[in-house]
Amino acid sequence: MHQDDFRFYKPCKLLQSYVRYYWAFKSNQRLNTLTFPIGCPQIIFHKQTPLYIPELNTTQDVLTISGQVNFSSHLYATGNTEMIVVVFHPHAMSMFLNIPTSLFYNQEVSGYSLENKSLNELAIRIFDCENNSICISYIEKWLLSQIDDNSANTTYRIERIDAAVQQIYITPQISVNELSSIACLSKKQFERLFHSFVGINPKEYTRIVRFQKALAQMQHQAGKEINQAQIAYTSGYADQSHFIREFKKFCGYTPLSLLKVSNPYSDLFTNPV
């Protein structure tokens, strides 16, 4: 798989608080790649062969909703892969699907099972279109139409959760009590809304952010000898052994063993556009 097979697209200004980026991938080669929890839900349109995920013993549908996951997984394809992916900010996908993101936790769900007529019509337009730039414009038009249909109250609640998420990025070891205070909600209200919008409970999400923050530091230290104690401290881990234990849980490798098989890359803390 070559970087040239990828193309990233930046969302329009009105969507940038909801969508991180879009990406398109096309290849006629066999695919076998390891992925890690990135902390962002996605909508995936497969224009050719969908991907198989052995850890879930499932093949993605041509229209797939991919929720928050807390484990590493392999992606397999036999060839003729072409896909367009919408990568949302952690809290934003439910704004467009009108159902809790928590329903997709550790799952790859067929978009057709949602019985969302406008989403199904969007998929038809994308599968009938060969120009990916035009496909992205179709996606953006659909996303904007969904914003128009949502209430101001929903937007207000999303903004509260977004404020908490932004603080987690800065201080991933922050407590749930502090996060609920930032969101101006009771702890119980905050946990309920966070789980609904982000798709995972706050404590588990902070663990994913710590992992991604560690990946980002390893990514930027490529070619150098990494200082595990320093990465542990900067990423918000209690100590080096906590860092190594948690890191292995999320990717199946210790930090040093991962360096022997791949180049660390943080999806959450890298902006490709």
CATH number of the domain residue 254 falls in: 1.10.10.60
Note whether 208 and 196 are same-domain residues.
no
Residue 8: phi and psi, rounded to 5, are -105, 150
Do residues 46 and 123 touch, judged by C-beta distance below 8 A? no
Strands 42-46 and 108-110: unpaired
Note whether 36 and 94 are same-domain residues.
yes
Q: Could you tell me the pLDDT band of residue 44, with boundaries at 50, 70 and 90?
A: very high
Note whether 142 and 160 are same-domain residues.
no
Give which of 234, 231, 241, 179 is closest to 204, Cα–Cα. Answer: 179
Domain of 256 in residue numbering reads as: 204-261
pLDDT score, position 1 = 37
Note whether 35 and 112 are same-domain residues.
yes
pLDDT tens for 227-267 read 999 999 999 999 999 999 999 999 999 999 999 999 999 99
Domain final residue, candidates 111, 130, 149 = 149
Token representation of residue 121 = 């019509």
Do residues 98 and 195 touch, judged by C-beta distance below 8 A? no
pLDDT higher than threshold 70 for residue 151: no
Number of domains present in the structure of the chain: 3
pLDDT score, position 4 = 43
Mean pLDDT of the chain: 94
Please state which of the ranges 78-92, 139-153, 232-246 shows the lowest mean pLDDT.
139-153
Burial environment of residue 26 by CB neighbours within 10 A (0 to 12, 13 to 18, 19 or more) = middle
Q: What is the average per-residue pLDDT within 30-43?
A: 95
pLDDT score, position 224 = 81
